[in-house]
Each structure stands twice: as C-alpha cells, then as structure tokens.
C-alpha cells in the first residue's frame, strides 16, 4: 500500500478484488467518493456488492475511519450505496440506473417482448439432469488422477474417449477405438478443424447441405475451404449430384443423414449406399449426427460411419441431449486423419476442459446418460404429438394453409406454407404480435441460386420450452397460423 503522500492509492476489498484509484489531489474524502462513484458507474462495483467495513477500508487506504464514513454517507445520500443493520454497506440495486442517468451518450435498445419461444437449436434446459450430473461429477473427481488438472492430450481425456467408443458403437453403430476420437467444444469447432486440415492438405473445396445451419457454413468458409451448396429434398441430401461436373474438385461433403436441419428429412437407404460408395471412391464424408438420438417412429437410424468407417468422419455433441453450455462434442476419425486433426486441435486451444469430460464419461459408463436420453425421447415425442394435434385442428375446425413435415425425429418440425395462405414474412410478423419467437426457413438458405423456387416455411423447435410453458407457446403458434 502507498502512503498518504502518494498521488494515488490502491486497494483490494475483502469481498471482491477491485483496483481503486484515489486521487489525493482532490482531497482524501472527495477522492474516495469520486473513485467509488466511478467504480459503480462503469460496472466494476456491481449492484449488490458488499463493501468492506469503514475500519477495514480506512486501514487499506491509510486514511481516517471518519473520512471513509463521510464518503459512504455521501454516496448513500446520492442513492449509490445502501446501509442496513447486520448486512453492511452495499452497492444499491438501482445504482445502474442512477449511473446511466449521468451519461448523455448512452442509448438503450428497447427489448423485444418474447413471451413464447419455439426457436430451434436447444433442448429443454430446465430438465438438465442436475442430480445425476452432480453424482457423476463427485464420483469422477474422487477417482481423477492428479494429471487430470494439468495440460493433457489434445484428443481429450482417455476416460471420455473410452466411454464414447463403447456408447457410440452400441447406440449409433459407430465403429471406433478411443484413439480415433477427438473431443471438441462442439460440432462447430469440429467443422473448423476439418476445414483447416483439408485446406492444408490441398483439398480446399467442400460440399455442404443447403439449407443448413448458417453458422456452420461460416465456420467452414472461415477455416479456408471453398464451399459448394448441396441441395436437400424430402429424401435428404441429393448425393447423386456429387458425381456430376458441378462437383468436380469436391473432396469432402458435410451431410446430416439421420435428421436434416432444417428440412427434417432422413437420408433414404438408396442415397445412404450411394454416399458410402462416393466416400470409398477416394472422398471424405463428414457426418453431422444432428439430434440423431431422438427418433420416434422406429429405432434411430444408424450412422453412415458404420458402413464406411475408413472414409467417414463422425461428429456428435451433448448440445441436444444435455445442453450446449457444456461445450462438449466429439469427432470419430479415420486413422489417417487422427494425427492432422489432433495437431489442429492442439493449435486451436490445446484441449477441451477436463472436469466436464470426466463427468460425462462417468455419466455414460454408469448408464445415467442412457436413462436421460430415454426419458427425454419420451418427453419430446409427447411434445411432437401435441404439436401435430394442435396444428391439425383448432376448436374442432381444421387449420389450413400449411403442411407439417420432418416430425419423425429430432427437436424441430417444418411448417411449409402454401401459396394460397400466409407468406413467411406475414407469419413472422404475426408471431411478433403474439410474443412468439420462431425461425423462418428463408434465413437458413445460404446459396443465392434459385431463391424464387424455394418453399416458404417456418421452423418450429419444440425442445426448448419448459413443460409448463409449452402449451401456451402452442396457443400462440396456432393463433399465428390461423388466417381464416
């Protein structure tokens, strides 16, 4: 700590670490008031933060306790601080509003009023298996070796890679050893890694489904390769086009055979065989197993990787089964690609975080992951059925102007709008009026060609609302689509 003759003093509170500059030239009390006021205004002292006692702060700064008390009293009078018996002095809950009133250049954007969320891309986070996850975490930490908390193998923890090799083989028909698996932060990172490796190996052209997740397109393009759009229809990706002149020079193709996003189709058996043959002919298939665990009409479709393991990179994640916030995904690689991808992962971020990997490994080996997926599959099937029932009729009257598709699997459905009914733009406008958040299909096409022939549709995600919020969200959707 600096003495009283310094131009500035610095302190760290007992409750929070905070660098506070007190300008001695302004007078000790005025300088302290100004320093605290600025710390509150710029957010370094957040609303509700408890400040040190006047005695502690006076000792930290080398000033009298009376000086600190006087500064606190002034800021309490201004509404920046509050003092209550037994709870000390804290930053006021309204301090942010008080601070904002002093800024004439700050403009606040009015928030959009969203009361119902049927956007795709997320499971029901309120049903995260907290108890099972905590139990698995405790068990994993009890057995974790010391080196688990240091820098590790860029491929990820051997515990998780071993558990995934068994699980993916048992449930998705994937053929892999732990040495072929690389743990990532999700499918998006996996696509970036593959893009970098392919570009570096002299294969800078990839095919990707269109429509598809736009962030994934951006991830691949940003990693180096040129991307060629691969059209999708009711039977999945049009893989026969990979053998045409349009795709000369394409070395790899990213596909979602189990349940395409956003169309919702499953790759037909004939196309699966054709895609596997294309891969064996010297190409690489990158299989995004998008919500493949959630199939409702029959057993989940097995992975393409299982019929062409030497020519398919399999991608999966826990984003749809548990939650995207875990940042846990995986790649199953043909042996010749393990080394280059591991090197790319090392350069990207060294390795994914460890504690989540150990916990997921324990959850899988204890079969808690299986139990969670089975219960989730039943819950989402009920939601799928309720969605279909509600869109068939309203108060006994049939709803018209659209058709529902892509509901055999996954966490979303496609509502195709008929030309005689509402347009996509009109539906999205009406949805806003009812406080409903949904996605339009138009935003998910990424190639400019043939826009006039593309269907108008909305993508309805039935995974993210809680059980309690889902019925009201469906009410808003029905009102949005009811145009007669």
pLDDT digits (tens, 9 = 90+) for 80-99: 888 887 778 888 876 544 44
Any domain includes 115: no
Burial bucket for residue 59 (CB in 10 Å: 0-12, 13-18, 19+): middle
Structure tokens at 26: 């302004």
Instruction: Read off the pLDDT of residues 183-194 as tens digits, 9 standing for 90 and up.
Output: 999 999 999 999
Strand, helix or coil at 447?
coil
Domain match, 352 and 395 both: no
For residues 62, 64, 70 and 75, what is the CA-based torsion angle, rounded to 10 degrees? Answer: 20
- Rounded CA gap, 238 and 209, in Å? 9
Is there a domain that residue 2 lies in? Answer: no
Tens-digit pLDDT profile for residues 54-79: 888 888 788 888 888 888 888 887 78
Q: What are phi and psi of 398, to 5 degrees?
A: -70, 140
Provide the β-strand partners of residue 288. Answer: 315
- 388 and 337, same domain (yes or no): no
Question: CB within 8 A of 153, min separation 6: which ones?
Answer: 351
Q: What is the mean pLDDT of the chain?
A: 87
> Which of 219, 224, 216, 222 shows the shortest CA–CA distance to 199?
224
The C-alpha atoms of residue 230 and residue 207 are separated, in whole angstroms, by 6
Domain shared by 292 and 341, yes or no: yes
Burial of residue 206, with CB atoms counted within 10 A of its CB: 0-12 exposed, 13-18 middle, 19 or more buried = buried
Do the domain assignments include residue 438?
A: yes
Residue at a domain's end among 338, 368, 398? 368
Domain coverage including residue 224 = 128-368
pLDDT at 16: 47
Nearest in space to 284 (alpha carbons), one of 261, 257, 256, 250: 250
Q: pLDDT tens, 235-251?
A: 999 999 999 999 999 99
Three-class SS state of 155: coil
Residue 1 included in any domain: no
Report residue 452's pLDDT band, with 50, 70 and 90 as the boundaries: low
Q: How far are the Cα atoms of 216, 219, 262, 401, 436 from residue 443, in angstroms, in the given order? A: 13, 17, 11, 21, 17
Burial class (CB in 10 A: 0-12, 13-18, 19+), 344: buried
Q: Is residue 420 part of a domain?
A: yes
Q: How far apart are the first and last CA of the chain?
A: 75
| pLDDT band of 290, cuts 50, 70, 90 | confident
Mean pLDDT of 354-368: 97
How far lies 247's CA from each of 192, 244, 353, 357, 445, in Å? 21, 6, 38, 39, 19
Clarify whether residues 138 and 239 are in a common domain. Answer: yes
- What was the pLDDT predicted at 11? 39
Question: Out of 27-41, 164-178, 463-477, which region has the weakest mean confidence (pLDDT)?
Answer: 27-41
119 belongs to a structural domain: no
412 burial (CB, 10 Å; 0-12 / 13-18 / 19+) is buried
How do residues 146-193 score in pLDDT, each as one tens digit? Answer: 999 999 999 999 999 999 999 999 999 999 999 999 999 999 999 999
The percent of residues in the chain predicted with pLDDT above 70, rounded, is 88
State how far Cα 8 lies from the chain centre. 44
368, 392, 419: which is the final residue of a domain?
Answer: 368
CATH of the domain at 81: 1.10.10.10
Whether 379 and 302 map to the same domain: the answer is no
- Residue 16 and residue 43 share a domain: yes
Considering the domain architecture, whether residues 388 and 355 belong to the same structural domain is answered as no
The span from the CA of 236 to the CA of 212, in Å, is 12
C-alpha to C-alpha distance for 454 and 442, rounded to whole angstroms: 8
- 382 assigned to some structural domain: yes
In a domain, 251, yes or no: yes
Q: Which residue has the higher pLDDT, 401 or 270?
A: 270
Largest CA distance in the chain: 84
Q: CA–CA distance from 202 to each of 158, 191, 206, 219, 363 (Å)?
A: 31, 17, 12, 18, 40
Question: Residue 134: what are its φ and ψ, rounded to 5°?
Answer: -65, -40
- pLDDT > 80? residue 9: no
436-437 and 116-117 as β-strands: parallel, antiparallel, unpaired? parallel
Q: Under a CB-based contact definition with an 8 Å cutoff, are residues 72 and 84 in contact? A: no
pLDDT attached to residue 267: 95
352 and 425 inside one domain: no
Considering the domain architecture, whether residues 206 and 275 belong to the same structural domain is answered as yes
Whether residues 319 and 393 fall in one domain = no
**Domain closes at, from 368, 384, 415:** 368
User: What is the rounded CA–CA span in Å between residue 35 and residue 20?
Assistant: 6
> Count of domains in the chain?
3
Does the bond joining 262 to the residue before it have cis omega, within 30 degrees of 0? Answer: yes
Banded pLDDT at 219 (limits 50, 70, 90): very high
**What pLDDT score was predicted for residue 97?**
43
Residue 409 and residue 260: Cα distance in Å, rounded? 10
Residues 156 and 35 in one domain: no
Q: Are residues 361 and 376 in the same domain?
A: no
């Amino acid at each position: 700590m600096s003495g009283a003759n310094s131009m500035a003093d610095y302190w760290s509170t007992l409750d929070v670490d905070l660098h506070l500059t007190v300008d001695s030239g302004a007078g000790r009390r005025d300088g302290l008031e100004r320093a605290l006021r600025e710390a509150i205004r710029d957010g370094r002292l957040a609303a509700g933060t408890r400040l040190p006692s006047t005695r502690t702060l006076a000792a930290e700064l080398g000033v009298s306790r009376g000086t600190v008390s006087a500064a606190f009293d002034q800021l309490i009078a201004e509404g920046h601080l509050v003092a209550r018996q037994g709870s000390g002095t804290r930053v006021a809950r309204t301090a942010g509003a008080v601070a904002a009133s002093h800024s004439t250049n700050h403009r606040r954007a009015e928030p959009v009023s969203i009361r119902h969320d049927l956007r795709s891309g997320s499971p029901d986070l309120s049903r995260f298996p907290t108890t099972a996850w905590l139990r698995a975490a405790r068990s994993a930490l009890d057995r974790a070796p010391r080196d688990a908390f240091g820098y590790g193998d860029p491929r990820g923890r051997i515990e998780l890679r071993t558990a995934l090799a068994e699980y993916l083989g048992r449930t998705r028909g994937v053929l892999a050893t732990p040495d072929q698996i690389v743990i990532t932060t999700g499918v998006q990172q996996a696509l970036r890694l593959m893009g970098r490796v392919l570009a570096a190996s002299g294969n800078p052209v990839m095919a990707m489904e269109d429509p598809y997740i736009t962030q994934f397109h951006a991830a691949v393009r940003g990693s180096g390769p040129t991307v060629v759009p691969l059209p999708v229809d009711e039977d999945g990706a049009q893989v026969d086009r990979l053998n045409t002149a349009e795709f000369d020079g394409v070395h790899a193709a990213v596909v979602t055979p189990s349940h395409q996003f956003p169309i919702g189709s499953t790759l037909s058996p004939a196309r699966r065989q054709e895609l596997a043959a294309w891969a064996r002919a010297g190409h690489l298939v990158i299989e995004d197993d998008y919500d493949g665990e959630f199939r409702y009409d029959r057993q989940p479709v097995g992975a393409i990787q299982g019929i062409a393991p030497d020519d398919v990179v399999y991608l999966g994640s826990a984003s749809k089964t548990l939650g995207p916030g875990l940042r846990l995904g995986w790649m199953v690689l043909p042996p010749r690609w393990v080394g280059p991808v591991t090197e790319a992962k090392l350069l990207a971020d060294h390795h994914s975080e460890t504690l989540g990997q150990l916990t997921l490994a324990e959850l899988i080996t204890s079969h808690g992951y299986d139990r969670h997926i089975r219960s989730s599959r039943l819950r989402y099937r009920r939601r799928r059925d309720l969605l279909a029932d509600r869109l068939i009729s309203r108060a006994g009257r049939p709803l018209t102007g659209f058709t529902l598709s892509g509901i055999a699997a996954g966490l979303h459905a496609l509502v195709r709008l008929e030309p005689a009914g509402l347009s996509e733009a009109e539906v999205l406008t009406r949805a806003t009026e009812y406080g409903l958040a949904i996605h339009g299909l138009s935003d998910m096409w990424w190639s400019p060609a043939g826009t006039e022939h593309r269907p108008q549709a909305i993508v309805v995600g039935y995974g993210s609302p809680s059980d309690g919020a889902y019925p009201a969200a469906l009410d808003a959707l029905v009102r949005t689509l009811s145009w007669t």
